[in-house]
Amino acid sequence: MFVDYAKISIKAGDGGDGAVSFHREKYVAAGGPDGGDGGKGGDICFQADDNLSTLADFRYKRKYSAPRGENGKSGRRFGKSAENLIIKVPRGTVIKEIESGRILADISGDEPVTVALGGKGGWGNAHFSTPTRQIPRFAKPGMPGEEFEVSLELKLLADVGLVGFPNVGKSTLISVVSEAKPVIANYHFTTITPVLGVVRLDEGSSFVMADIPGLIENAGEGVGLGHQFLRHVERCRMLIHVVDVSGSEGRDPKEDFEIINRELERFNPELTKIPMLVAGNKCDLATDEQIAEFKTYVEEKGYEFFPIMAAIRYDVDPLLNKTRELLSKLPPIVRYEAEAAPKIETDKLRDKKFTVKVVDGVYIVEGKWIANIMRSVNFNDYESLQYFQRVLVDSGIIKELKKAGVQEGDTVSIYDLDFDYVE
């Protein structure tokens, strides 16, 4: 079964905790704190694997977690950083965060793409030794790794997409112009999975063609194979609309042509901007009048028309040559850029949980959502710093610090950020 959509949970590894330790050695008095830092948690990475063609594996395993970083040790020994977890997916998979809908990654290249970052290791108590705090009996915990519910959506990477009603000859066409071997039979929905084929015209000239399974009326609303395969059209640089000009199945070629174009627009209006050629297939079953009438109709709509007989490869070369000519002028296949994490709205901050505790005179603030915000804050940028200050006020952290007795000049520690409290 072809599966091109899946939902999974990913969790990057937490950072290891810093160690609380004091140097003890014969003849060394008051050796001082020597707790090491924790190791970094493992990242979650995705990598394209050309041996995979579907997302079927993700139907059976839906939770993926990277290992945690090792805790710090005595003697200022740092914990070992955890290995990254690399998840293999088919090339062309787009990863989105379900909650916000933002794109996290487009797995179209060869290199692994990091989607969820592992948490930093916590500082050991050796970091907190000062002239006034010579015996720090605390260390920082590791920061939590990023955690997402994500959707995986496979959008095939093809230069040319073949669209049209079932049984109009799309599979036959791709079988005679490439090495692809789709199932071909005289019934609807013979092709139930997209088929890719490489079309080679001459030395150094080739392009990738995709046979998109037959669409029907209301496919844009998910009817039939609808949304399951319309998403693959979005990647194509151009389309070839295959129409049965003979009307051999009792349908009107003009009506078929309009229905498919309407469904493409309904699914995604941007698809109407993709260049398209029209291939009139099964010309051997049509009269000269039928072909001429449909040719006039299509050209009046602004499309180039190519009458063909795909089964015997008759007049297919002019269609391929024109396709090559258009592709040479078109931009490359669409690649989706990762989108920045949205800032939390201030009215939603009040529901976020956090804790404030006092250890050796240091006010320590913890909360998983705070760690995620701190990753996106540039503390060298004035506006970014102002945003972080608003977060502290609107979430109630400042109010809770005052309730815990914080005074001007006291140290406040929020994960890997330490600062002096100022009224």
Q: Provide the pLDDT for residue 382.
A: 78
Burial of 218 (0-12, 13-18, 19+ CB in 10 A): middle
Domain that holds residue 404: 344-423
The reply to whether 333 falls in a domain is no
| Range of lowest pLDDT (14-28, 66-80, 216-230, 350-364) | 216-230
- Whether 67 shows a pLDDT value over 90: the answer reads yes
Tell me the sheet residues that pair with 161.
Answer: 210, 239
Kindly tell me if the per-residue pLDDT of 341 is higher than 80. no
Q: Note whether 287 and 395 are same-domain residues.
A: no
| Domain co-membership, 301 together with 368 | no
Q: Are residues 298 and 185 in the same domain?
A: yes
Determine the pLDDT at residue 333: 85
- Residues in the chain, total: 423
Statement to judge: residues 247 and 361 lie in one domain:
no
pTM for the full predicted model: 0.73
Per-residue model confidence (pLDDT) at position 220: 42
Q: Does residue 335 sit within a domain?
A: no
Looking at residue 22, what is its pLDDT? Answer: 87
Question: What pLDDT score was predicted for residue 348?
Answer: 63
* Helix, coil or strand: residue 203: coil
Last residue of a domain, one of 327, 357, 392: 327
In the predicted model, what is the mean pLDDT of the chain? Answer: 84
Q: Is residue 13 part of a domain?
A: yes
The pLDDT value given to residue 226: 42
Q: How many domains does the chain have?
A: 3
Judged against a pLDDT cut of 90, whether residue 8 lies above it is answered with yes
Mean pLDDT along residues 215-222: 49
Residue 396 corresponds to which tokens in the numbers above? Answer: 């109630």
Region 17-38: what's the mean pLDDT?
82
Distance, in Å, from the CA atom of 400 to the CA atom of 406, rounded to the nearest integer, reads 9
pLDDT digits (tens, 9 = 90+) for 87-118: 999 999 999 999 888 999 999 989 999 999 99
Q: Convert the pLDDT of each residue in 179-208 to its tens digit.
A: 877 655 454 444 456 788 889 987 778 899
Q: Does residue 220 belong to any structural domain of this protein?
A: yes
- One-letter identity of residue 183: V
Interatomic CA distance for residues 171 and 329, integer angstroms: 26
Nearest-angstrom CA–CA distance, 72 and 210 = 53
- Structure tokens belonging to residue 393: 């006020």
Tell me: do 311 and 218 sit in the same domain: yes
Domain co-membership, 117 together with 181: no
What is the DSSP secondary structure assignment for residue 78, as one 8-state letter? P
pLDDT of 222 > 50? The answer is no
Output the DSSP codes for 212-237: PPPP-TTGGGT-TTHHHHHHHHTT-S
Map residue 129 onto helix, strand or coil. Answer: coil
Does any domain span residue 339?
no
Q: What is the pLDDT of residue 224?
A: 40
Residues 175 and 135 both lie in one domain? no
pLDDT tens track for 282-328: 999 999 999 999 999 999 999 999 999 999 999 999 999 999 999 99
What is the pLDDT, as a whole number, of residue 52? Answer: 85
Whether residue 239 sits in one domain with residue 170: yes
pLDDT at residue number 96: 94
Beta bridge partners of 33: 22
pLDDT of residue 263: 83
Spatial CA neighbour of 75 closest among 21, 121, 125: 21
My answer on whether 78 and 214 are in the same domain is: no
- Domain with 307 in it: what CATH number? 3.40.50.300
Give the CATH number for residue 143.
2.70.210.12
Domain-located, residue 252: yes
List the strands of the sheet with 160-163, edge to edge: 195-202, 205-211, 160-163, 238-244, 276-281, 304-307
Please state, in angstroms and rounded to a whole number, the distance separating the CA atoms of residues 398 and 390: 10
pLDDT digits (tens, 9 = 90+) for 359-377: 888 888 888 788 777 776 7
- Say yes or no: 94 and 186 in one domain: no
**pLDDT-wise least confident of 22-36, 136-150, 326-340:** 22-36
CA-to-CA distance for 141 and 68, rounded, in angstroms?
A: 12
Q: Quick one: pLDDT band at residue 344, thresholds 50, 70, 90?
A: low
Domain with 401 in it: what CATH number?
Answer: 3.30.300.350
Q: Evaluate whether 249 touches 167 at the Cβ level (below 8 Å).
A: yes
User: Are residues 230 and 278 both part of a single domain?
Assistant: yes
Please say whether the beta carbons of 256 and 293 come within 8 A.
no
412 vs 371, which has greater pLDDT?
412
Residue whose entry in the numeric block shows the structure tokens 């139907």? 59
Which of 296, 327, 358 is at the close of a domain? 327
Q: Is residue 337 part of a domain?
A: no
Q: Are residues 357 and 293 in the same domain?
A: no
Query: Does any domain span residue 334?
Result: no
Domain boundary among 268, 294, 327: 327
